[in-house]
Amino acid sequence: MKKIVVIGGTGLIGSKVVALLDERGHQTIAAAPDTGVNTITGEGLYDALDGADVVIDASNSPSLDGREAKRFFLTSGSNLLDTEKAVGVRHHVALSVVGTERLQDSGYFQAKLAQESLIAASAIPHTLVRATQFFEFLRRIADDATRGAEVRLPHALFQPMAAQDVAFALVQAALDEPTGGMIEVAGPQSYFMDELVAHVLEHDGDKRAVVSSADAPYFSVRLNEASLMPGGNARLGTTTFEKWLSSAPLPRSVPPLVTIPGARA
Ligand SMILES: NC(=O)c1ccc[n+]([C@@H]2O[C@H](COP(=O)([O-])OP(=O)(O)OC[C@H]3O[C@@H](n4cnc5c(N)ncnc54)[C@H](OP(=O)(O)O)[C@@H]3O)[C@@H](O)[C@H]2O)c1
């Protein structure tokens, strides 16, 4: 049995990681501001990490704005690594995003790369787990790309995966020895982003129309065919998109169509 602290242990991925580790009988701490552990202020951090074998960082910046995200990941990361050094943590596992270095037109992905570099340069043995987009994130992709009644997305390949499979991969990495490098994890199949998002919206009864546009950005990044794709050594999750969609709860509200005065329905 290991003592494992999950930073962001109340979030989408972190809460699933905590549940999996609890099932396996490990001593697990779900660390987040709501549970009294704050990696920015340092509140509760030393006590939570004291005696821990492994720290899994599945936290996220409360703001996706580039500058704020960078401040979050660098401050949080430094506080974590310093405390881990002080208490003798033997393995730091962190969640990042496949293709981060190819997405540097986005301030958020600059922040993720800065987080990765901080960890790679630290003295704590580490494993970086880079995941592709979560199926649970597809509706958020649609919302970010919505202009009026249209969702403008590129016809670019990606290989999204279920949050549950991301959690499995983090748990596996945490229970293995540190690799000192990067592991990629991805879904079982690749899709075109515009087509898959259209499929989700149709499933939801969401009337927004997906418009494929070569120059439409993905969160301010112009994608090419390879931008979001994992490499050949990626570990693949087993949950298919169809299986996930059939069991995923519908969103609480479908965004209303923006109607243009005077336009005919
Ligand atoms: N979205 C994607 O498709 C995707 C793909 C690959 C990788 N990722 C990465 O996955 C990671 C996790 O994403 P997620 O969607 O699971 O995040 P999430 O659901 O937003 O959860 C974020 C967690 O971080 C915690 N947190 C925030 N500020 C904190 C602080 N100061 N101290 C301690 N904990 C803090 C939050 O706690 P509170 O709720 O109490 O604030 C929450 O538990 C991110 O780093 C992201 O870059 C995302």
DSSP 11: S
Q: In the predicted model, is pLDDT for residue 260 greater than 60?
A: no
Is position 265 within any domain? Answer: no
Determine the distance separating the centroid of ligand 1 and the alpha carbon of 7, expressed in angstroms: 9
**130 φ/ψ angles, rounded to the nearest 5 degrees:** -100, 125
Domain assignment present for 253:
no
pLDDT band at 263; cut points 50, 70, 90? very low
| Ligand 1 neighbourhood includes 142 CB (under 6 angstroms) | no
- Model pLDDT, residue 254: 60
Cα(114)–Cα(107) distance, rounded to whole angstroms? 10
Mutational test site, ligand 1, from 34, 59, 76, max ligand atoms within 8 Å of CB:
59
How far is Cα 129 from Cα 178, in angstroms, rounded to an integer?
A: 11
Q: What is the CATH number of the domain that holds 169?
A: 3.40.50.720
Q: pLDDT-based confidence at 214, cuts 50/70/90?
A: confident
Is any ligand 1 atom within 6 A of the Cβ of residue 218?
no
Quickly state the pLDDT bin for 251 (edges 50, 70, 90).
confident
Instruction: Decide if 32 is inside a domain.
Output: yes
Q: Is 221 in the pocket of ligand 1 (CB under 6 A)?
A: no
Helix axes 163-175, 12-23, angle to 10 degrees: 50
Residue 36 lies in a domain: yes
CB-facing half-sphere around the CA of 200: CA atoms within 13 A: 27
Q: Give the residue whose CA is nearest to atom 36 of ligand 1.
A: 8
- Ligand 1: centre distance to CA 134 (Å): 13
- Percent of the chain topping pLDDT 90: 92
Domain containing residue 224? 3-247
Cα 26 to averaged position of ligand 1 atoms, centre (Å): 22
Specify the higher pLDDT residue, 257 or 197.
197
Count: domains in the chain? 1
H-helix or E-strand containing 22? helix 12-23
pLDDT of residue 257: 53
Contact call for residues 166 and 132 (beta carbons, < 8 A) = no
Tokens 């974590």 appear where? 80
**Residues near 165 by beta carbon (within 8 Å), at least 6 away in sequence:** 185, 187, 237, 238, 239
CA dist 201 and 115 (Å) reads 33
The pLDDT value recorded for residue 252 is 76
Q: What pLDDT was estimated at residue 255?
A: 57
Judging by beta carbons within 10 Å of its beta carbon (0-12, 13-18, 19+), is residue 230 exposed, middle or buried? buried
**Average pLDDT over the chain, rounded to an integer:** 95
- Inside any domain, residue 197: yes
Q: In 3D, which of 122, 119, 125 has the Cα closest to residue 94?
A: 119
pLDDT digits (tens, 9 = 90+) for 91-128: 999 999 999 999 999 999 999 999 999 999 999 999 99
Is the CB–ligand 1 distance for residue 7 below 6 Å? yes
Q: Greater confidence, 259 or 173? A: 173
Q: Cα angle at 169 between 222 and 9, to 5 degrees?
A: 90
User: Residues 196, 204: contact at Cβ < 8 Å?
Assistant: no
Residue 264 lies in a domain: no
Within-domain flag for 255? no
Residue 259 — pLDDT band, cuts 50, 70, 90? Answer: very low
- What percent of the chain has a predicted confidence (pLDDT) above 70? 95
- Whether 261 shows a pLDDT value over 60: the answer reads no
CB burial of residue 235 (10 Å; 0-12, 13-18, 19+):
middle
Cβ–ligand 1 distance for 154 under 6 Å, the answer: no
pLDDT of residue 49: 98
Residue 259 inside a domain? The answer is: no
